[in-house]
Amino acid sequence: MAAASHGRGYPVSVRFAPAGELTRWKPFVQWLLVLPHLVVLGVLGIGSVAVAFVSWVMILFTGSMPAHLAAFQQLYLRYANRTVAYAAFLHEGYPPFAFDLAGADPGDDPGVRTDIASVLEGRNRATVAFRILLAIPHTFLLAILEWVAFAVAVVAAFVVAATGSWPASLRQVVEGFIRWNARVAGYLLLLTDDYPPFSLD
């Protein structure tokens, strides 16, 4: 089971647009404006769970993941990152309702980009078989970190309202949570066999 010491070089990576000036009242309404995306994300999430189960069975029997199943999981992961980044007011541009199955991030959301190097052939069936158990340490830590990131975002909303910009240290916490969560999601959705690093980078 391959392990990386940090987030750089992992098959799932998330990049954010540089921090800039924000409209001071926006943090208090973006959580409301994002609701349509949350509904779409919920529907995609149900599909993602079903696709993950089908992928799990297929990998165990054939050692490979069909490209169209990987493409759907990539779409879901990109959509999730865009939605969360907007809800956390990391940028102001409204995320597109985009459902591109091409695989690579089309770059139509300038605020956040998710790059995923999926592994289709020669899969590690042993780690796939026990994938949920292997991810337990990450899911436990992410459950805690999610609350930390939420609290940081609440504090940052008032800072942005007063200054028009994110404090760099607070922004790094929220961005780090999204990155870490994306790597673990990519691992759980069977897009890679590389064990995710315990890192905010």
Instruction: Spell out the per-residue pLDDT of the chain, length 201, in tens.
Output: 333 334 568 999 999 998 788 889 988 888 899 999 999 999 999 999 999 999 999 999 999 999 999 999 999 999 999 999 999 999 888 999 988 887 678 888 888 999 999 889 999 999 999 999 999 999 999 999 999 999 999 999 999 999 999 999 999 999 999 999 999 999 999 999 999 999 998
DSSP string, the chain: --B-SSSTT-SEEEEEPPP----TTGGGTHHHHTHHHHHHHHHHHHHHHHHHHHHHHHHHHHS---HHHHHHHHHHHHHHHHHHHHHTTS--SPPP-----SSS-----TTEEEEE----SS--HHHHHTHHHHTHHHHHHHHHHHHHHHHHHHHHHHHHHHHSS--HHHHHHHHHHHHHHHHHHHHHTTS--SBPPS---
The answer, as to whether pTM is greater than 0.75, is yes
**What's the confidence (pLDDT) of residue 7?**
52
**What's the confidence (pLDDT) of residue 186?**
97
